[in-house]
Amino acid sequence: MSDALINGLAGAGGGIIAQIITYPLQTVNARQQTERDLKKEKRKVGTIEQMCQVVKQEGWERLYGGLTPSLVGTAASQGVYYYFYQIFRNKAETAALLSQKKGIGDGSVGMLSSLVVAALSGCVNVLLTNPIWVVVTRMQTHTKISKKDHSNRLATTSPEETALPVIEPLSYGTNHVIQEVYDEAGLLGFWKGVFPTLIMVSNPSIQFMLYETMLKKLKKRRALSKQGNNGVTALEIFLLGALAKLGATVVTYPLLVVKSRLQAKQVITGDKRHHYKGTLDAILKMIRYEGFAGFYKGMNTKIIQSVLAAAVLFMVKEELVKGVRLLLIKDCINNMKPKPL
């Protein structure tokens, strides 16, 4: 089994576990990013309070709306990313060794090369899996509104606001969302938000660059210590993954908000401030009507969710890779043993 396949499968497994643990936070964050109710914004509803509101008004299951396609997307996304990351990484390492033979460099992959490897892997991942995340975002931001609540809102809101609440069918499964997206924009609808998402490959690029740089320095420090042990524990992997994701999230969060706005269901009629024709149109309208603060809605929730998810993912992935390699070594040793006659 190749290193690329091992890392791809381990990444998918780690991603699924991290996704299940942090999914309620993802749902709340998606709603915060796409929230356009000025009254709620002024109240500044916190993460825990909003989770309680969702449970009280819509039930526990709404915190896990879109979990099934999300798990499929996570497995596919992490698997694709780590598979191609390892392939590109191997090529970068080969190129670095060839350069060393020519007297250039020390034979290791530098920060710039790591950034390029992560960016290429991210682009392949985005282009292949974007349709899944369009469906997931729709399901996460879907809100059940009863006819009674809708009538009350119509009576107490201005004509400009009445266009926002929409009564959705109670059945809002994966097939329903797929059909809805296709009816609205055809096949191209499944690649909504792909442009800011492609730009956002800088997030995992920055994340992996920080992670591998810190990991390399830690191993080097361990090797130089008296013990001479350069092993890294699961807890240290957890903390390094958390720190790397924190730095990447702070830098790229505005793009994530724009992507969510484009992928969420939009109101075609009524208030045009909330209807985006594309990435540039969304950015300009957000700046005009919400200010730069609009690009950081729900950031606290996202930092908690993404840092926790990344830390769990890195820890589980590394442990799975170690486990699989150990099993392969044992299997190889057993096959080399002479068989009794």
Query: Mean of the pLDDT values across residues 278-299?
Result: 85
Query: Mean of the pLDDT values across residues 81-110?
Result: 85
pLDDT at res. 145: 56
Q: Which of 312, 318, 324 has its CA nearest to residue 15?
A: 312
Query: Mean of the pLDDT values across residues 18-38?
Result: 79
Distance CA 230, CA 330 (A): 22
pLDDT at res. 159: 43
pLDDT at res. 195: 85
Name the residue with higher pLDDT: 291 or 36: 291
* 167 pLDDT above the threshold of 50: no
Query: Mean of the pLDDT values across residues 119-132?
Result: 88
* 156 pLDDT above the threshold of 70: no
Share of the chain above pLDDT 70, in %: 83
Q: Which of 126-130, 241-245, 247-251 has the highest mean pLDDT?
A: 126-130
* 164 pLDDT above the threshold of 50: no
Q: 219-230 burial string, b = 16+ CB within 10 Å, else e?
A: eeeeeeeeeeee
Please state the domain extents for the chain.
1-64+299-340
pLDDT at res. 102: 85
* 87 pLDDT above the threshold of 70: yes
Length of the chain: 341
In which band, very low, low, confident or very high, does the pLDDT at 198 lie, cut at 50, 70 and 90?
confident
Q: What is the pLDDT of residues 308-325, one digit of tens each?
A: 887 888 888 888 888 888
pLDDT at res. 80: 85
pLDDT at res. 294: 83
* 113 pLDDT above the threshold of 70: yes
* 172 pLDDT above the threshold of 80: no
Query: Mean of the pLDDT values across residues 24-38?
Result: 78
Query: Mean of the pLDDT values across residues 139-156?
Result: 57
- Could you tell me if 13 and 300 are in contact, meaning their C-beta atoms sit under 8 angstroms apart? no
Distance CA 122, CA 72 (A): 17
* 257 pLDDT above the threshold of 80: yes
The whole-chain average pLDDT of the chain stands at 78
Rg of the chain taking only CA atoms, in angstroms = 23
* 30 pLDDT above the threshold of 60: yes
pLDDT at res. 173: 78
pLDDT at res. 147: 47
Distance CA 28, CA 47 (A): 7
Of 8-22, 93-107, 223-237, the poorest mean pLDDT is in 223-237
Query: Mean of the pLDDT values across residues 115-124?
Result: 85
Task: Kindly give, in sequence order, each residue whose CB lies less than 8 Å from that of residue 341, ignoring residues fewer than 6 positions away.
Answer: none
